[in-house]
Amino acid sequence: MASTLVDIIKKGIEDKIELILTAKYGLGDKNLEVPFQPYIYGEDSMQYQFVWGYLSYPMLFYKFHMDNIVSAKLSDTTFTVLPNACYQYAIEEEHYAVLPDFDNIYADAARQKKSAGK
């Protein structure tokens, strides 16, 4: 995986710039180009690198494994954090880049529950 792909994704996260991703589709024999708002770049508990964010069409949150991304480029569109954005992460998952002002409500809920149990 080219480091330039990771650099483009990190730049999109840091500056809140929508990406145009080309990703493998279906059984991997077709490519699909989609506008994507990146929120988190990281590595899951199985050590697969991923990027999680919002697909403005068809309007859903989605996690792409980096192995399925063919290319990425920055668009001219900036975006803001959606109020309904929430990410439930797994134990031992690492995040290398997170969208500024993104509040992970599952992490907040876990902290509140832990402090309430004392």
pLDDT category of residue 76 using cuts at 50, 70 and 90 = very high
**pLDDT for 27-43, tens place per residue?**
888 999 999 999 999 99
Among 11-25, 43-57, 94-108, where is mean pLDDT lowest? Answer: 94-108
**pLDDT for 47-66, tens place per residue?**
999 999 999 888 999 999 99
pTM: 0.84
Domain of 104? Answer: 3-116
Count of domains for the chain: 1
Instruction: Give the three-class secondary structure for 82.
Output: coil
Given this model, what pLDDT does residue 112 score? Answer: 56
Residue 72 pLDDT exceeds 90: yes
Q: Which residue has the higher pLDDT, 110 or 82?
A: 82
Q: Which residue has the higher pLDDT, 56 or 115?
A: 56
Q: How far apart are CA 56 and CA 47, in angstroms?
A: 27
Q: How far apart are CA 26 and CA 107, in angstroms?
A: 32
Given this model, what pLDDT does residue 91 score? Answer: 76
Q: How far apart are CA 73 and CA 76, in angstroms?
A: 10
Residue 38 corresponds to which tokens in the numbers above?
Answer: 């990146």
Residue 6 corresponds to which tokens in the numbers above?
Answer: 């990771």
